[in-house]
Amino acid sequence: MEYRLLGGSDLNVSAICLGTMTFGQQNDAAEAHSQLDLAFERGINFIDTAEMYPVPPRAETVNRTETIVGNWLKHRSRDTVILATKVSGPNRNMAWIRGGPKALDRDNIRTAIEGSLERLQTDYVDLYQLHWPERNVPMFGKYQFDPGQETEAVPIRAQLEALAELVREGKVRYVGLSNEHPWGVMEFLRLAGAHGLPRVVSIQNPYNLINRVFETGLAEIAYREQLGLLAYSPLAFGHLSGKYQSDPAAAGRVTLFKGFAQRYEKPNVQPAVAAYADLARRHGLTPTELALSFVYRRWFVASTLIGATGMAQLTENLEAWEKPLTAAVLAEIEELHLRYTNPAP
């Protein structure tokens, strides 16, 4: 396993991070702990979770994931694990999380971290992320900014000041963003520099063969400002594994939770997926190996979040690390990218 410094932090994270959003919904505690054990045996030292997990979010299951991770974490030496979690923002109609949540203000952020620390059975998290912006931005399959949707939002400076308190208290080591856009990233950086507040070290955004939007505006920011991308959904909700091409009814989040991932229901998604799957097979790779190996070694990716519902799937995801892509394969990927440019933004 390769290890990389996360942005401008001193967190030396594995190039693969174990995502946990299936724990407590598609995976029970025993299955989840087996996945965690295997991942750490293979050199992964980085776990990502969130207070709202598992996904899809429901009142009946909220917080289960952190509880499962915490029960596993208490049996390990804390300093061997780099642990990331997230605070949920408003505007997602999840009234079961902190009564709303109504804002990313000081009270909500503080309540959220206290709950996460209790469930995770630890005194601190290494990386604390704002799960999505509070302000009006297109998210989760929407791609056009609409000024008509503007509402009041907690100022970014106030969000940073709340996070700064947690850093000073030792509850949080570093802070990061998730599902963020270029203006937001630069504003967080500007205000941190102007007011001596914590500087974000990472951005957790979707990135895969059919959604390379990060490259357009955020890759340059990542380079110039020392930020690491934590790439989530590298298999595009399982589409890039090719399993839905051969069996549209195959078991997975797409069939279990219909309508949940709207970005993958756009017109050019299936033709692009088929083209990448064909490319993989022509070069002796599985579609999964092609998709993951591509993301694993992009220069701006600090770590790639993988998730699995079974041990065989997790093993394939891990072993894809051993299949770096040749220059010829990468050139063909670029040809397909020009034909099917970001069909799932």
Place of tokens 């690491």: 228
> Which residues share a beta bridge with 18?
47, 306
How many Å apart are CA 84 and CA 175, to the nearest integer? 9
What proportion of the chain, given as a percentage, has pLDDT over 70? Answer: 99
Domain contains 257: no
Domain contains 86: yes
- Enumerate residues 6+ apart whose C-beta is below 8 A from 317: 16, 288, 292, 306, 308
Q: What is the pLDDT of residues 306-337, one digit of tens each?
A: 999 999 999 999 999 999 999 999 999 999 99
Domain contains 108: yes
Domain contains 249: no
Phi, psi of 68 (to 5 degrees): -65, -45
Domain contains 258: no
H or E segment to which residue 8 belongs: none
Q: Residue 318 sits in which domain range?
A: 3-238+298-323
Output the six-digit token pair for 318: 């891990």
**Residue 141: how many CA atoms within 13 Å on its side-chain side?**
12
> Which residues share a beta bridge with 91?
none
E strand segments, the chain: 3-5, 12-14, 16-19, 46-48, 82-87, 125-130, 172-178, 202-206, 228-232, 301-306
Residues in the chain: 345
How many Å apart are CA 224 and CA 213, to the nearest integer? 18
Whether the predicted pLDDT of 92 surpasses 90: no
Lowest mean pLDDT among 11-25, 190-204, 243-257, 320-334: 243-257
Domain contains 180: yes
**Residue 329: predicted pLDDT:** 98
CATH number of the domain where residue 172 is located: 3.20.20.100
Q: Among positive and negative, which fits the CA dihedral 142, 147, 150, 155? A: positive
**Residue 91: predicted pLDDT:** 84
> Which residues share a beta bridge with 303?
230
Q: In the chain, how many domains are there?
A: 1
Phi, psi of 221 (to 5 degrees): -60, -45
Catalytic residue set: 53
Mean pLDDT computed over every residue of the chain? 95
**Residue 230: predicted pLDDT:** 99
Domain contains 15: yes
Domain contains 33: yes
